[in-house]
Amino acid sequence: MRQSNLFLNTLREAPSEAEAASHNLLLRAGFIRQLAAGVYSYLPLGWRVLRKVEQIVREELERAGAQEILMPVLQPTELWKESGRYSVYGPELIRLKDRHDREFALGPTHEEVITTLVKNEISSYRKLPVTLYQIQTKFRDERRPRFGLLRGREFLMKDAYSFDKDQEGLDQSYKTMYEAYFNIFRRCGLDFRVVEADGGVISGEGDTHEFMALADIGEDTIAACSSCKYAANLEKAQSGELSIMSTTEQIGVVQKVHTPEVRTVEQVADYFKTGAQRIFKTLIYTANDKPLAVVVRGDHEVNEIKLKNYLGVEMLVLADAERTVAATGVPTGFVGPVGLKIPVLVDIAVLQQGVGITGANIADHHFKNVVPGRDFPALQQGDFRNVIEGDSCPHCTGGELQFFKGIEVGHVFKLGTKYSEALGARFLDANGREQAMIMGCYGIGVSRILAAIVEQNHDERGMIWPKSLAPYAVHLVPVSTKDEVQTMIANDLYDKLRSHGVDVLLDDRDERAGVKFNDSDLIGIPVRIVIGKDAVNGQVEYVERRSSGKQTLPIDEAIARIIDLAH
């Protein structure tokens, strides 16, 4: 491609709202342009990279035995009513009416569509298993789209769905897809971790994993063990058994203490000259509109996903100040579990702490020497908290949990029969009995991978594309287009490399050398060949973008090295 023809404008500055490096650089390098909040056009360079990501995905999914299809974006909302999800999603699900006033949704995902499709095509166990996938634009009306391609409202996803006749079939399909994901992310050059994730109320233990690209901009927090392979999304991460505090000391009876205006954990810890872990924080929630109290240690936070899963509810709301007073009759800061009339859920770490300080359920008073189980009921106990850094690993002894930020680029689920039951996708098994198909679903954020790659591969001068995804393999930059020798050599190099099937971008613009080099660094093509004053002696400069290494080489050697690299 000759850059003088390329539909490309690089920018010196990106709009100020582009806080994420990838958002800033993809805009400045002319890979994407925003049409609306969270809605982007891919320009030639961005589109070339996107298609390379797709190509890797296709190759690995075909290798895994999945078959590519393409489903509609327009989904009749009857399907969402049938699956029971129509009322679960609010404004995030974009709905519209067609000319006959029939309601459709713009597909955010395709469980309902694929299950309906397969239901009408397969009725015998002989036709199972089958895994189908598509690479298609998804729509999710995010309240706050941001960070460019990292959280868009219209984005490219590969979504696959497996259908099996029994659980071990699903386990196999899941394992096969899981391995394909490893290959895909490795070939994309991503530094990623697989973490146990929370599959919500639909999935059981070990039934869902997320593939996280490590990046500080990532919105997800991963808790990973310092010594073993354990890693989990913070939503799900657990700690090892906390060391049970020695309760040899005889614990006196509860004492009421006057604590005027002492409300926050910090204030209480300070007032009693103790640590936050000796304070039992009581939070009021409403689950499906019924109030309940959750007690966690003062240095811990409630994990609302764990709470929802324990309670088996979809709607869980933290009570605000007046709701708290309404539920307990006590102002926030003095609420405690002793004598509460509503159900009390106690986090295990509180039990292991053994004794602590709580609100006294009386304004301006706290209780000390409070023993869970003795001074308030601790029958409803469980893991209701986020782990914290330094917690012991739940899988090995000695390991400690450390936090990393990650970008979710893949998510795989064992769905079981949630959709096949709801939508009637059944088959006749070998004994002629009717069974619901056992499903799995597998997503990859294809457009999100572009951003994740840039987050992990850039420097102050611009992007640095891995060879597998670069829009072009090599960037030819003649220093001066006014110099016939340089131009002749550049054109000759261009033709030779292309005749060997190498993707070449030739910067034939009539621009100053500095402008060309800055643009080349910004676009991030892995190898640059500078045709400068040594060209007349048959020498060119071979520049590696990642290492910034420079070498003057005879032209033929440069060609040989590039051809070798490109294959």
What's the rounded Cα separation, in Å, for the pair 93 and 491?
A: 52
> What is the pairing mode between strands 290-297 and 280-287?
antiparallel
Quick check: 140 binds ligand 9G3 (CB under 6 A)?
yes
The tokens of 473 are what? 């393999």
The tokens of 4 are what? 């003088």
Q: Count the site residues for ligand 9G3 by CB under 6 A.
A: 11
Quick check: 159 binds ligand 9G3 (CB under 6 A)?
yes
Among 443, 445, 478, 526, binds ligand 9G3 (CB under 6 A): 443
What's the rounded Cα separation, in Å, for the pair 196 and 395?
A: 12
Among 297, 411, 418, 475, binds ligand 9G3 (CB under 6 A): 411
The C-alpha angle 101, 104, 109, rounded to 5 degrees, equals 180
Among 17, 19, 92, 556, binds ligand 9G3 (CB under 6 A): 92
Provide, rounded to whole angstroms, the least separation between the CB of residue 67 and ligand 9G3. Answer: 16
Closer residue to ligand 9G3 (CB): 188 or 504: 188
> How many other CB atoms are found less than 10 A from the CB of residue 119?
19
Closer residue to ligand 9G3 (CB): 291 or 443: 443
- DSSP for residue 43: P
The tokens of 101 are what? 């006033």
Quick check: 271 binds ligand 9G3 (CB under 6 A)?
no
Which residues, in sequence order, are CB contacts of 194 under 8 Å at separation 6+?
A: 178, 181, 182, 209, 210, 211, 212, 231
Quick check: 151 binds ligand 9G3 (CB under 6 A)?
no
Provide, rounded to whole angstroms, the least separation between the CB of residue 80 and ligand 9G3. Answer: 7
Among the listed ranges 85-93, 318-326, 339-347, 529-537, the one in contact with ligand 9G3 (CB under 6 A) is: 85-93
What's the rounded Cα separation, in Å, for the pair 63 and 57?
A: 10
Identify the bridge partners of residue 24 per DSSP, sorted by sequence position: none
Quick check: 83 binds ligand 9G3 (CB under 6 A)?
no
Site string for ligand 9G3, 96-115 (x = CB under 6 A): ------------xx------
What's the rounded Cα separation, in Å, for the pair 205 and 65?
A: 26
105 and 75 in contact (C-beta within 8 Å)? Answer: yes
Among 44, 69, 71, 89, binds ligand 9G3 (CB under 6 A): 89
Q: Cα–Cα distances in Å, from 209 out to 174, 264, 408, 442?
A: 10, 37, 10, 10
Quick check: 448 binds ligand 9G3 (CB under 6 A)?
no
Closer residue to ligand 9G3 (CB): 19 or 92: 92
Provide, rounded to whole angstroms, the least separation between the CB of residue 162 and ligand 9G3. Answer: 11
Provide, rounded to whole angstroms, the least separation between the CB of residue 130 and ligand 9G3. Answer: 16
Among 18, 441, 450, 535, binds ligand 9G3 (CB under 6 A): 441
What's the rounded Cα separation, in Å, for the pair 95 and 77?
A: 8
Tell me the three state secondary structure of residue 164: strand
Provide, rounded to whole angstroms, the least separation between the CB of residue 334 and ligand 9G3. Answer: 39
What's the rounded Cα separation, in Å, for the pair 528 and 258?
A: 73
Closer residue to ligand 9G3 (CB): 441 or 530: 441
Provide, rounded to whole angstroms, the least separation between the CB of residue 117 and ligand 9G3. Answer: 14
Q: Cα–Cα distances in Å, from 168 out to 247, 259, 414?
A: 47, 59, 11
Quick check: 93 binds ligand 9G3 (CB under 6 A)?
yes
Would you tell me which residues interact with ligand 9G3 (CB under 6 A)?
Answer: 89, 92-93, 108-109, 140, 159, 411, 413, 441, 443
